[in-house]
Amino acid sequence: MIEIIDLHKSFNGQEVLKGVNLTIHDKEIITIMGKSGCGKSVLIKHIIGLLMPDKGKVLVDGVDITGLEPKELDIIREKFGVLFQGGALFDSLNVYGNVAFQLMEKTRLSKMEIQDRVMHALADVGLKGVENKYTAELSGGMKKRVALARALITEPSIVLFDEPTTGLDPILSSSMQKLITSTHEKYGYTGVVISHDVPKIFEVANSVAMLYNGIIIDAGTPDEIKRSNNPVVRQFITGGIEGPIGVMD
């Protein structure tokens, strides 16, 4: 379980998170939605300790990661897999090298075992015959799939998805959502999906939270959020220009 308690974060005097409180239960997929630049990626980076808060706590399975030493934090990070927004694949490695990287660096598995797991992970995300390609040769959708395979290769108990469908066409976007559902069914991880791809993203989520003005203003099941009376949530779901969310904010 992940508990985020009163999380505050500022950059150069600008307060991005103003006291976020959120509980993410084991094996659920939660979607955190919010307008661009509202701090969703900042929030996800706090969950894995890539950023440290000015105030507040992040508890991962009961351990407050905000006060941990780098080595202790690295141990906690072994529970995580992360799909970064742009994939964050290593340019200097081919697809196989990217997916196998963590296994080669952090486990004592044999070459054959690693190869077997990489091939399975790539097959899980619908990729075949791309092992020797470099990231520059891949399309946006393929990069995200390879990044998902890399995130899942260690069979983590928590997977963070930072805007998994951004930049993809509607078909690829749907296919990515399907992949999240199918891999969740197979691996049973706790998923945190950052997205503003509504209402599509509701299909993969067990619960949804809305981040606005640095706090979680509403949270619940997708149906509850769809029926929410909160004007901010309503405007965000319908995509209306008129409403409390200023277009130029």
Site for other proteins, residues 12 to 51, rule: CB under 8 A: 45, 48, 50
- What minimum distance in Å lies between the beta carbon of 190 and other proteins? 16
- What minimum distance in Å lies between the beta carbon of 12 and other proteins? 12
**Residue 19 structure tokens:** 């006291």
The phi-psi region of residue 203 (left if phi > 0; otherwise alpha if psi is between -120 and 50; otherwise beta) is alpha
CA distance 126 to 237: 30
* Residues ≥6 apart with Cβ < 8 Å to 90: 97, 98, 101, 135
Nearer CB in complex with other proteins: 88/215? 88
Site for other proteins, residues 165 to 194, rule: CB under 8 A: none
Edge-to-edge strand list for the sheet holding 63-64: 14-24, 2-11, 55-60, 63-64
Task: Count the Cβ atoms, other than its own, within 10 Å of residue 16.
Answer: 21
CA distance 148 to 235: 31
Site for other proteins, residues 58 to 97, rule: CB under 8 A: 70, 73-75, 77-78, 80, 82, 84-86, 88-92
Asked if residue 144 binds other proteins (CB under 8 A), the reply is no
Amino acid letter, 51: L
Nearer CB in complex with other proteins: 67/239? 67
* Chosen residue from 106, 120, 186, 227 binding other proteins by CB under 8 A: 106
Nearer CB in complex with other proteins: 40/77? 77
Closest C-alpha to 179, from 212, 221, 149: 149
The phi-psi region of residue 167 (left if phi > 0; otherwise alpha if psi is between -120 and 50; otherwise beta) is left
Closest C-alpha to 216, from 16, 19, 9: 19
Nearer CB in complex with other proteins: 79/226? 79
Q: How many residues bind other proteins (CB under 8 A)?
A: 23
Nearer CB in complex with other proteins: 78/223? 78
- What minimum distance in Å lies between the beta carbon of 84 and other proteins? 5
- What minimum distance in Å lies between the beta carbon of 96 and other proteins? 16
- Contacting positions for other proteins (CB under 8 A): 45, 48, 50, 70, 73-75, 77-78, 80, 82, 84-86, 88-92, 101-102, 105-106
